[in-house]
Structure 1
Amino acid sequence: MEALEKFHPLEAAFHSDARSLLSLPLRITEIFHSLQGETSRTGLPTVFIRLTGCPLRCAWCDTEYAFYGGETLPISAVLEQIRSHQTHFITVTGGEPLAQKNCLPLLRVLSDEGYSISLETSGALDIAAVDARVSKIVDIKTPGSGECAKNRWDNLAHLNRHDEIKFVLSDEADYAWARQILRERALADICPVLFAPVWKTLAPATLAEWILHDRLPVRMQLQLHKILWGEKRGV
């Protein structure tokens, strides 16, 4: 009986599948431990996994260094680095992490390990297959980004209350556009909505005044890591 349990075909298939996932390669720009600077998890110690590559070219992008290069690592090596930091929270970001097909098995492996995972994605790629245990932080690109036409509105159907929608705003025109989308699509009924000013472009106090004046059901967010460390990488 013991031997039968040890070699049960379903159990063997499960462990074989898990091992195969660990060997899958990813192109990684950096892995680092810092405070979460954005979203409702702001301030929490977090390990960031920045995947290389992005099909978008947003006008205000602050991670252009992640477009190219990076290091190829198997998921097992990524997991080993994460474990060394002894933290519960992980953010998978980019670039655009979903541009790499092996991002999906990475998210599954991390979730199976018991970590609390957030995925930062541009909203330009399909999120339907993302592991349900992952908190999806989905951008809606504004006209000022130059990539507004690439928004996948069908992604909204795959969001729930533990996900978040983020607008990055560069000026009043972006704000007015985001306000209209917020209301027309009842975004606050889907999940929490974040309004964030472009760093050193839109004054935070100005955005705060607009939000309060219009009584919008949104959370204003600043980039805590930039307030603390400026443009320094890996923090």
Structure 2
Amino acid sequence: MTTATISISEIFHSIQGESSFAGWPCAFVRLAGCGHGCNYCDTTYAEEAGTAMTIDEVVRRALTFDAPIVEVTGGEPLLQPEVYPLLSALCDKGAKVLLETGGFLPVNRVDPRVHTIIDIKTPSSGVAEQNCMDNIPLALASPKRFEFKIVVASEEDYLWARDFITKQGLLGKCTLIFGTVFGQLEPRLLAEWILRDRLPVRMQLQLHKYIWNPETRGV
């Protein structure tokens, strides 16, 4: 039995709206805390104080949904050291585990059984200088364990992202997913830019925001 506690914002069952796993039923474990101040953050409520739960309690709650995947997200989940034993505990139960991180912190301590989704912040986020570059070579060394998500709010963001993934050698090596800041950029424009540049990346929409009201929590 694990007695260590972790601060939880919410645990819920929904449709995975992003990543290469979009569309699958998913149990979400959202950890509390962030503080990085991304301009287009859509989960600012996760910065509020969470509920302390033991790792065993979190695992039990997440597995009650009997979902094919479990995602640990935030906030910024890597801010809490207890996230690492939580991820391992979920894997030990046989769950297919995803981690989504804002890309500010190194992911080298994450259990190798976890599929890790790393954000790359664009200039409009206001925090692009905080991208953790140590994660790039780690992902290139084990590309099947990682994917990168890049959200753009303008063509300037898109061009920056296109140049970034090219210079970092990510094209053709890791799964790269481009999306739009919901309500700020027409998805059609991003699709046109990707096609114009013959850019071999995957485009995504935040599926859950089209199924439910974009302001709805717990989905």
* The structure with more radius of gyration: 1
Q: CA deviation at 1:184?
A: 1.1
| Distance of 1:199 and 1:135 partners within structure 2 | 25
| Distance of 1:214 and 1:49 partners within structure 2 | 37
| Distance of 2:65 and 2:98 partners within structure 1 | 17
| Distance of 1:30 and 1:52 partners within structure 2 | 8
Q: CA RMSD in A?
A: 0.9
Structure 1: 5+ residue runs without aligned partners? 1-18
Indicate the residue corresponding to 1:15 in structure 2: none
* 1:167 maps onto 2:147 in alignment: no
Q: TM-score scaled to structure 2, two decimals?
A: 0.96
Indicate the residue corresponding to 1:232 in structure 2: 216
Indicate the residue corresponding to 2:201 in structure 1: 218
* 1:187 maps onto 2:167 in alignment: no
| Distance of 2:165 and 2:136 partners within structure 1 | 12
| Distance of 2:32 and 2:62 partners within structure 1 | 17
3-state SS, counterpart of residue 153 of structure 1: coil
- Contact conserved, 1:55 with 1:99, CA < 8 A, in 2? no
What does the per-residue CA deviation read over 1:15-56, in whole Å, with 9 as the maximum and x for residues that have no partner?
xxxx3xx22111000000001000111110000000000031
- Give the counterpart letter for 2:169 in structure 1: A
Indicate the residue corresponding to 1:54 in structure 2: 34
What does the per-residue CA deviation read over 1:142-193, in whole Å, with 9 as the maximum and x for residues that have no partner?
1100001101111112222231101110111100100101111121233100
* 1:105 maps onto 2:89 in alignment: no
Structure 2: 5+ residue runs without aligned partners? none
- Contact conserved, 2:6 with 2:53, CA < 8 A, in 1? yes
* 1:202 maps onto 2:185 in alignment: yes
| Distance of 2:145 and 2:7 partners within structure 1 | 28
Structure with more of its chain in helix, by fraction? 1
- Give the counterpart letter for 2:88 in structure 1: R
- Give the counterpart letter for 1:101 in structure 2: P
Percent identical among aligned pairs is 46
